[in-house]
Structure 1
Amino acid sequence: MELSLVDPNSPRSAQVETMRDACAANGFFRVPLSSIPADIAAEAWGLAKAFFSLPTAHKEAVGFPEPGYPYGYSEYGLEALARSLGDHDAVGDMKESFSVGPDCGVHASTVPATGASAWIRSVSLWPTQIPELRDAWERYYQALAVVAAELMSVMAEALELPTDYFEPFIDRPITSMRALHYPAVPNQAPSALRAGAHTDYGTLTILRTDDVAGLQIHTDDGWWDVPPDPDTFVVNLGDTIAQWTNDRWRSTLHRVVPGAEPRQSMAFFHMANWDATIECLPTCRTHGEAPRHQPAQAGPWLMRKFQSTVDSGDR
C-alpha cells in the first residue's frame, strides 16, 4: 500500500484508513520519495555511494572505536542481525554499513547523556575525505524526522487516539540512520544472507533502496519479495509499535537475500525517547485482556538489541 503525505488531494481520513489497513496486515507500506525535497534525497544518496567507494583504510578510519559503539563504519561480516532474535550462532551478514546517530537531529542537545543513556549520545564519526557528507546527511535525517513524526500522528488516529498522542514519547528521539552496501555475491549457498532475518527495534523504519531486489518479508505463507522501487520509501513497523499495540500491529520479520548485483540502501530508524516507557495503549486491549509485553524503556531496549548483533571478537 502507498500512503501519500504530500498529495493535497489525499484526505486525512483516507490516510488514516490506509495506515490502519497496512499496519493490521503486515506492517509494511510505502510513501513517495517526493515526501522530502528531491535535492536532499539525491545528495544524501550519492554521498553514501561515494563513501562505500572509498579505500578500505579510509572507511576503517571511522570504524567502531570499541565493541558495541553505535555509530560509524561496520565492516563486511561484522554484524549478524539474526543474533538479535537469539540465533547466537548466526554468521555475519554479507554487507558493510555506515551509521550516524541523534546528533544529526535538531533535538540532539535534549537527549539525556547520563548513565547508560550516554551510549546513545556517542558521537557520530565522519570521513574527512568527504567533508560535505555530514551536512547532506544531517539535512536528510532532519527531513525524514518530519516525515516520521507525521506518520506517527496518522498512526495515532488509526489507533483511535488523539493526533498528538505520541508527541511526548518522541519529542527527544534517539533515532539513528544507516547506509548499507551489499557487494555482489554470485554463487552463494542458499543459507547465506545479506541481512539475517530480524525485526527492527524502534517505532518505524523509513527505507530507501535502489532498483536491485533482495528485501523479503515473512508472512503466514512464508517469505515474500518486496519489489524494489527507487521512487518510494518502504516503511515498516518496529518492535516498539508492536509493544504499544499489544501485537495488534506487527513488527514483521524481514531479511535481505543474496544476489549477483551490488545493492545499496539507506535506513532511517525512528525511535522513541530514551526514557519513554513503552506499554500497552489504552485502545489496544479489550476489557480483561492482559498486556502481552511488560513495560520497558525504549533506550535500554534498543541498546540491548543492537549490542547483541555485533561480534565482540569472543565468538
Structure 2
Amino acid sequence: MPVSQEQAAWFSDAFEKLVGNVDLAILGKKNVIRLVVTALLSDGHVLLEDYPGTGKTVLAKALANTLEGTHSRIQFTPDLLPSDVTGVTIYDQQKGVFEFHRGPIFASIVLADEINRASPKTQSALLEVMEEGAVTIDGVGHSVGKPFMVIATQNPVEQAGTYKLPEAQLDRFLIKTSLGYPDSETSVQLLLDASNRQRAARIQPIISSTSIPQMTELTSEVFVDPSVMQYLSAIVDATRAHQDVQLGVSMRGALALARAIKTWALSKGRTYVTPDDVSELAVPVLAHRMIVDPESEFAGVKAEDVVSRILLDIAAPTYRAA
C-alpha cells in the first residue's frame, strides 16, 4: 500500500525528533546524525571512522539512549574471542542441560568500539548477525530481535596492532561516515559545558524500540520511479568500469542504496524518491565498498572522489512527482 502524505509527515516529524534528541549530546553534527538514523530505519549498520576524541562513542550512546530499548558496548581488543561477542553454551550440572548465555551482541544498539583492533576471526563473528540478525551457536540459531543495529568505530590514524576490515565485512555496513572536528561556535559551547563528562547519559528515551520496525516497514512503500533506479544502477555500473577502481560496488551495495534513499525521502516528508536523494547518499553508502587501484591510491585518489566524479559525469533523470 503506497505511503500517504499524512504518514510521510508523521515519519518526518518522528525522524527530526530523533535527530534533535541525539544532537543534544553531539552538537553541530545534524547531517551525520541524519545518516546514522537513516541507517537505523533502513535496517542497516554504520561504520564511524574518525580521529580520537571526535565523539564517535558519544554519538552511539546518545542514539541508544534515545530509544527505549537495550544497548551494549563491546571494546574490541586483539585478545577478544568470538564467544565474547556472540555468547557461549555452558553445561549446567544441576539441571543436566546445556544453556546458552547471551553475549553483548544481543541488544538493540551495539557499539563495536575500535573494531579494527580485534582479530579477523573475531571480526567475522559479526558477519552472520549483521546480515541475518541471528547468531548460530553449536548449530542452534538465536535471533537478536528487532531493531538491531551495529555502530562500529575505528581510528584511521593508529594502524599499529590493528587488522584492516576485509571487503566482505565493509560491505555489511550500510553507511560509512565521520564526525570531524566541531566548528568554532560549537567548540565554545562544548568548552563552556566541559564539567559535564557524561553528555550522552542526559539523553532521555523519546521513542519505543518497538516503533522502529514499524517505521522501517513504512519506508518500503515509498514510490520510486524506474528512471531513478536506472540512474542508481548506472552509478553502480560506473564504479565497476572506472579506471581508478580495482573492485566496484557489489549488488549488495546497490540494494543498500535503494533501501536508504527511500528512508531519506520519507525523512523529508516526501512519498517519492528523487534523483537528489540518490546523489546525496551515494558517497556515504557506496564509497567504502570500493577498492581503489593501488597505483591510483598512491597518486592520492580516494573512493569518495571517484563516486563524486561519477555523479558529475552521469546525468540525473528529469523527474517530476505526479
Common fold: TM-score over 0.5: no
Larger relative helix fraction = 2
TM-score class normalised by the smaller sequence: under 0.3
| Structure of greater Rg | 2
What TM-score comes out, normalization by structure 2 length? 0.24
